[in-house]
Amino acid sequence: MAGGTDFKWCGKPGVKPLGVCYHLGIDITFALPANGQSKIAGRPFATLSSVIDDRPEFRGAHAEHAPGATPTPNVVPVPFAVAEAVIRRKIDRHNREGDRRSQGMRGRSYKQMFSAGQKHWIMRKPMVQKHYFSGLIYKPASVDR
């Protein structure tokens, strides 16, 4: 979806990945770590997932990462409030950590960089129509069968 290399089944005659993207006419591609499009989101995700997944609050809460792994009766769900609190705490900590060495950071944290850049922004709030088109305003509907 982001660019990069096509999935292995693309281009083979008679084999199509079925799903929403296929039916909407979207060509599916996979962004590899060497591809610049995946690095921006991939690096924080890898860092945060390794820190968050190993927390004691999540012990026994997932079915591992093996292909085809499905939850068993041994999987214990984590209450949403607990998961949200842990994730928010870890993301806030990640954004506050200083001494970043990536391009343009000059030892500042992500939070400092964002605040510095935000000083020059003109704050614009989306109109009702934008909220509607983005799906933030919707009417629940159901289909009777």
pLDDT digits (tens, 9 = 90+) for 2-55: 444 555 555 566 655 567 767 777 777 766 656 555 566 677 788 888 888 888
| pLDDT for position 1 | 43
| pLDDT for position 144 | 75
Say whether both 32 and 47 belong to one domain. Answer: no
Residue pair 13/45 in contact by the 8 Å Cβ criterion = no
Say whether both 33 and 45 belong to one domain. Answer: no
Task: For the full predicted model, state whether its pTM sits above 0.85.
Answer: no
For 90-101, the pLDDT digits (tens) are 989 988 888 877
Q: Which domain covers residue 126, as residue numbers?
A: 1-39+121-139
Say whether both 25 and 44 belong to one domain. Answer: no
What's the structural domain count of the chain?
A: 2
Residue pair 95/109 in contact by the 8 Å Cβ criterion = yes
Best CA proximity match to 17, nearest among 62, 118, 8, 82: 8
State what percent of residues in the chain have pLDDT above 90. 6
Q: 19 versus 73: which is more confidently predicted?
A: 73
Say whether both 48 and 62 belong to one domain. Answer: yes
H-helix or E-strand containing 69? none
Residue 105: phi and psi, rounded to 5, are -75, -35
Cα 27 from chain centroid (whole Å)? 20
